[in-house]
Chain A
Amino acid sequence: MTLKLTTLALGAALAAGPALADLVFPSLDYRTGPYAANGIPVADAYADYFTMLNARDGGIGGVMTRVLPCETAYNTEKGVECYEATKSEGALVYQPYSTGITYQLIPKATADDIPIHSMGYGRTSAANGKVFSHVFNYPANYWDGASVAVKYMLNEEGGSLEGKKIALIYHNSAFGKEPIRTLEELSKKHGFELSLLPVDHPGQEQKSQWLQIRRDKPDYVVMWGWGVMNQVAIQEAANIRFPMDKFIGVWWSGSENDVLPVGENADGYKALALTAPGDEFGVYEDLKKYVYDEGKAAGNGDQMGTVLYNRGLYAAMLAAEAARTAQEIHGTADITSGMMRDGMEALEITEERLAELGFANFAPGFKVTCENHGGNGMGAVQQWDASAQKWTLITDFIESDSDVIQPLIAEDSAAYAAENNIEEGCN
């Protein structure tokens, strides 16, 4: 309620004042290239949400928003070029949607006083805001994902993974290697045997890895894959008759794009989720009224409720809420990127606010602080129903094992701080 009143007051004040520049949200899209099928729904959702805010609320705090798209084709060099080309237009926050681009932008954006939001990807130890002042990876990071997967398996196995075999099949890149350290720590803690199976980019040929899985007969296979690697892995798992309900992908291996090409064989496959799937949320009514029916949709309207479209919506909503928070903190609607950073660091998403925004039961609430840029670290498990062609959440949102993850974050961020002469601390 307080938030609403503040927003109204800000809007009223602005109505009487001079015209303000738009709030600029760059969108580093990849509508072309090998990952276009995944990039399009995310980019469409990001644009659609801000279109809705403009049409329904007149923007944020009375200032219209402007999404500034730039095509990266998921290419790191192009992503950096996009950043350089758009930052001078008043960019408030960058969401690179690529771990490679995120790594490149961390020092640049920090120097330029522009925040980065890498939601569920990027550098995991950026959760330590005392070192990474301008990088936020709420609501969860890769290490949270690894821990949530293990907690789920623990639950499935009646609380013990002692003597069990877990195989990690992963994209042989910085992204794919992220969970290894956490899983190694968790294997020591829970007594399971971890085997590592890297797959080289792009991942169209995985026969060796799946023959090994067939020989070793692990109890579970966890996948850290992206793009074509996911479809091939799910198909190969089906080929060797690995039980799909023992096969769990990270949230980047759990969209409709990953399972539909495999058809009925993908039935029962599981993946982690940052949000609920589907379009049965209040926000979709407003999107339909103000965006789709008005012919203002960024895409052709066939992605509503898909996993990646919902992720794009979630990212846009969190960016908008951070901007709103920044306006409140600084008492001005015309915020800068530095103010946006402050808004992100003070962001609090409550269940009540989620319900007000039409996101009830979409994702759990969380609070960001200087010490914790990583949010609640929660993830759920979803399962694919091939006959109904839909994902369904099969668990509540699960908390990660902070006892294991926090020391790893502290260690990695301290190493980064030492390398870059950063003095840890909060403003």
Chain B
Amino acid sequence: MPEQLLFAMEVTLNGLMAGVLYALVALGFVLIFKASGIFNFAQGVMALFAAMTLVGIMDGQVPFAHLINATFGTDIHHFGWHVPALLAIILTTGVMVLLAIGVQKFVMGHLVNQEPIILFMATIGLAYFLEGLSDLMWGSEIKKLDVGLPQGINETIDQVTYDLFGYGFFIDNLDIVATVIAALLVVALVLFAQYTKQGRAMRAVADDHQAALSVGISLNFIWVLVWSLAGFVALVAGIMWGTKSGVQFSLSLIALKALPVLMLGGFTSIPGAIVGGLIIGVGEKLFEFLLGPALGGATENWFAYVLALIFLLFRPQGLFGEKIIERV
């Protein structure tokens, strides 16, 4: 097999894996947009906040230690214990639920019936608030996140492809784990939405707020539920990206990777987020591989948006988005 074709296959596989990681971030956006029509600008910062909280809990870090020490002249930083990863994930999920309740009670609850742009602006404010809160609670230093996920080249794939083609493919173990987790997450979300009472209520709210209210569904509860789910998805994305790069402020910028995925897949479709992520992942990697060298490289960021825009020309609602028909 020609060498270039082998390289292209390797790039395609890695693109698929990268796409899954983008889709993980996009999922959080979709959940909130679908249920409440809010484009949550704070989704990336929620991933940062969740990951920082997870590391803080695992390391037994005292929250707001710098503030406490500066105010009271103390010198406390750690509780002196380490929390196992699984327990820390559960506790962090609890924190994200509390955050969802806080967001609903103090922000969104006051903005019912406001224009979508007002709600969007509120999430921008929320993003800045969470950025500051994360630093204040856990400090600005870069933290290592190790929840036991494997990293590095997958030996089996390397060996098998070497035996087959004479060239071993590189696939990162972390990307494989991320793919499995993303698949499980999507299945769980779909099952939850289809077969549980709360899931059906969530779908009802997504379809028509007023009709849902008229049959006794609590909007407050559903929105807390949706923000909690988005918080959990943010935690999963934060774990995956944080394991790759360390937990630091830049985690909040992963939202930039989700935007073209959302444009392409549609803002209201969970499968759309996954398929959109895969198309963007493969598209940008293959483009970089084939044309990047001729164009000076670093094409991935802009190409993802160009690809999304091309799709939008033919399907303005995205691949799986709901077609909005408004009669005049």
Contact = CB atoms under 8 A, between A and B. Distances in A.
Contacts of B172: 207, 239
B146 A263 contact: yes
A240 B153 contact: yes
Interface string A259-288: 011110100000000000000000000000
Contact of A199 (B145, B151, B246, B298): B298
A197 interface: yes
Nearest to A212: B289
A250 interface: no
Contact of B142 (A197, A207, A238, A260): A260
Interface in B151-206: 151-153, 170, 172
Contacts of A34: 248-250, 253
A204 interface: yes
Interface residues of A, number: 41
Nearest to A176: B298
Interface in B122-144: 131-132, 135, 140-144
**Which of B18, B132, B145, B246 counts the most chain A CB atoms within 10 A?**
B246
B135 A36 contact: yes
B84 interface: no
B2 interface: no
A172 B245 contact: no
Interface string A226-255: 011001100100111100000000000000
B10 A257 contact: no
Contact of A239 (B73, B146, B153, B300): B153
B279 to A, nearest CB: 16
A211 interface: yes
Contacts of B54: none
A91 to B, nearest CB: 26
B7 interface: yes
A295 B132 CA distance: 25
A198 B14 CA distance: 19
A235 B135 contact: no
B contacts with A: majority SS:
helix
A172 B298 CA distance: 7
Interface string A189-215: 000000011111010110111011011
A295 B59 CA distance: 26
Nearest to A210: B170
B250 A202 contact: yes
Contact of A32 (B14, B73, B135, B170): B135
B142 A261 contact: yes
Contact of B292 (A204, A208, A227, A260): A208
A235 B151 contact: yes
Contact of A211 (B10, B141, B257): B10
**Which of A202, A209, A232 counts the most chain B CB atoms within 10 A?**
A202
B34 interface: no
Nearest to B146: A263
Contact of B7 (A172, A200, A215, A227): A215
B218 interface: no
A207 B140 contact: no
B69 A204 contact: no
Interface in B233-262: 241, 244-250, 253-254, 257
B11 interface: yes
A32 B141 CA distance: 10
B297 A198 contact: yes
Contacts of A2: none
A204 B245 contact: yes
A204 B144 contact: no
Nearest to B11: A211
A197 B246 CA distance: 22
A36 B246 contact: no
Contact of B14 (A197, A207, A228): A207
Interface in B3-45: 7, 10-11, 14, 18
A37 B142 contact: yes
B141 A257 contact: yes
A37 B142 CA distance: 6
B148 interface: no
Contacts of B254: 204
Given A198-B296, A214-B170, A32 B151 contact: no
Interface in B270-319: 285, 288-289, 292, 296-298, 300-301
Contacts of B209: none
A194 to B, nearest CB: 13
A341 interface: no
Interface in A146-185: 172
**Which of A204, A235, A260 counts the most chain B CB atoms within 10 A?**
A204
Given A36-B249, A211-B170, A300-B69, A204 B146 contact: no
Given A200-B298, A205-B300, A300-B66, A239 B249 contact: no
Given A34-B250, A36-B249, A239-B153, A207 B241 contact: no
A235 B245 contact: yes
Contact of B143 (A31, A32, A199, A261): A261
Contacts of B297: 172, 196-198, 209
A37 B151 contact: no
A238 B135 CA distance: 29
A202 B253 contact: yes
Given A239-B153, A240-B170, A207 B18 contact: yes
Contact of A200 (B10, B69, B132, B301): B301
A31 B132 CA distance: 11
Given A40-B140, A199-B298, 12 more contacts: A31-B140, A32-B131, A32-B132, A32-B140, A34-B253, A36-B140, A172-B297, A198-B297, A207-B172, A211-B7, A238-B152, A260-B142
Interface of A: 31-37, 40, 172, 196-200, 202, 204-205, 207-209, 211-212, 214-215, 227-228, 231-232, 235, 238-241, 257, 260-263, 265, 295, 300
21 contacts: A32-B131, A32-B140, A34-B250, A35-B249, A36-B249, A202-B253, A204-B250, A204-B257, A207-B172, A208-B288, A208-B289, A208-B300, A211-B10, A227-B248, A228-B246, A231-B248, A235-B245, A240-B153, A241-B153, A260-B142, A261-B144
Interface of B: 7, 10-11, 14, 18, 66, 69, 73, 131-132, 135, 140-146, 151-153, 170, 172, 241, 244-250, 253-254, 257, 285, 288-289, 292, 296-298, 300-301
Q: Which 8 A-B pairs have the closest CB atoms?
A: A261-B246, A198-B298, A228-B250, A36-B140, A172-B298, A200-B301, A198-B297, A208-B288
